C-alpha cells in the first residue's frame, strides 16, 4: 500500500498515512481537526526497464563484462551439447549354453 503525506493548514503538522488506492483521501487533521492538503513527495524508488541494476544502470564497462560473461557461458553450454554423444543401445549378447562334451 502506498504512503501518502498530508499537511494540516491549521496546525502545520505533517502526517504520513498508509492508504489503499481505493480509499478516500484524508480531509481532517487527526490532531486538531483542521483541514489537510495532500503533499506531493518523492518516491523512494523507480522501476525502469527490466528492473535489474546490471542491465539498466550499470556503467558501460560493467555492462560489457556482463555481456561477455553471458556469451562465454552460452558458448560453454553449446560446446557441452556438441561433445555429448547420443546414447545407443547395445544388443544383448546371446550366450549359448555350455556344451557337454
Q: What is the pTM of this model?
A: 0.42
User: Mean of the pLDDT values across residues 62-89?
Assistant: 68
CA distance 52 to 63: 12
Residue 46 within any structural domain of the chain: no
Spell 27-60 as b/e; 16+ CB within 10 A means b.
eebeeeeeebeeeeeeeeeeeeeeeeeeeeeeee
User: Mean of the pLDDT values across residues 72-80?
Assistant: 65
User: Mean of the pLDDT values across residues 22-26?
Assistant: 92
CA distance 76 to 12: 64
Q: How confident is the model at residue 31 (pLDDT cuts 50, 70, 90)?
A: very high
Least confident of 1-5, 20-24, 25-29: 1-5
Residue 10 within any structural domain of the chain: yes
- What total number of domains does the chain contain? 1
Q: Which domain covers residue 15, as residue numbers? A: 3-39
Residue 20 within any structural domain of the chain: yes
Amino acid at each position: 500500500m502506498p504512503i501518502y503525506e498530508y499537511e494540516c493548514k491549521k496546525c502545520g503538522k505533517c502526517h504520513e498515512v498508509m492508504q489503499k488506492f481505493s480509499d478516500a483521501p484524508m480531509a481532517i487533521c487527526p490532531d486538531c481537526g483542521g483541514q489537510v492538503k495532500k503533499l506531493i513527495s518523492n518516491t523512494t524508488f523507480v522501476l525502469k526497464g527490466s528492473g535489474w541494476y546490471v542491465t539498466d544502470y550499470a556503467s558501460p564497462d560493467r555492462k560489457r563484462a556482463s555481456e561477455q560473461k553471458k556469451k562465454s557461458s552460452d558458448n560453454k553450454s553449446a560446446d557441452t551439447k556438441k561433445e555429448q554423444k547420443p546414447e545407443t543401445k547395445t544388443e544383448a549378447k546371446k550366450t549359448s549354453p555350455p556344451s557337454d562334451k
